Amino acid sequence: MQLANSCNNTYDIKTTQYMTNGEKVYRAHCQNCHGKDGEGLGKLYPPLTDPNYLKDNRDLLPRIIRYGLKDTIQVANEIFAGVMPANPQLTDVDIAYVLTYITLRFGDSEVKFDIEEVKKALSTKPN
């Protein structure tokens, strides 16, 4: 990945920091199931490359990471019914990092997650 290329000013310094740290969190906690390029794994684990799902569920994504997911979801026109484990060990900033990485790298977004957005989303615990 070419985030720190001095000739490429695609991201500001803070976004580059979030992307770099987010990639580390992704590799350690997400890549094993969701794949190196967010492609998912068949019908077991959904891809993280559906920009519509990522955009439409932006406020839900931090809660999915922190608390896990047991519900059936539809991503990229496919139904997934597997369980995603909770990640309570990840800090709010870790979640902001990894969601910035996922949404910018895989989801075609141009807006990073900031810590306040993550905190606000996490203030509502899922049912």
pLDDT single digits (tens) 48-70: 999 999 999 999 999 999 999 99
Residue 91 has pLDDT above 60, yes or no: yes
DSSP symbol at 106: I
pLDDT greater than 60 at residue 8: no
* 4, pLDDT greater than 60: no
| Residue type present at position 6 | S
DSSP secondary structure letter of residue 3:
S
Q: Would you say residue 23 lies in a domain? A: yes
DSSP 14-60: HHHHHHHHHHHHHHHHTHHHH-TTS--BTTTB--S--HHHHHHTTTT
Instruction: With H, G, I as helix, E, B as strand and everything else as coil, classify residue 100.
Output: helix
Domain that holds residue 25: 13-122
3 inside domain: no
pLDDT at 109: 86
CATH of the domain at 108: 1.10.760.10
- Residue 127 in any domain: the answer is no
Q: Report how far residue 119's alpha carbon sits from residue 63's, in angstroms, rounded to the nearest whole number.
A: 10
Residue 79 located in a structural domain: yes
Residue 73 within a domain? yes
Q: What is the pLDDT of residues 13-58, one digit of tens each?
A: 999 999 999 999 999 999 999 999 999 999 999 999 999 999 999 9
- Is 120 in a helix, a strand, or coil? helix
Q: Which residues pair with 75 in a beta bridge?
A: 78
Q: State whether residue 38 is helix, strand or coil.
A: coil
At 29, list the tokens: 């906690």
Q: What pLDDT shows up at residue 127?
A: 54
Query: Domain total for the chain?
Result: 1
**C-alpha of 103 from chain center:** 6
Does a structural domain hold residue 2?
A: no
Residue carrying structure tokens 């999915």: 64
3-state helix, strand, coil in the chain (%, to 5): 45, 10, 45
* Domain assignment of residue 113, yes or no: yes
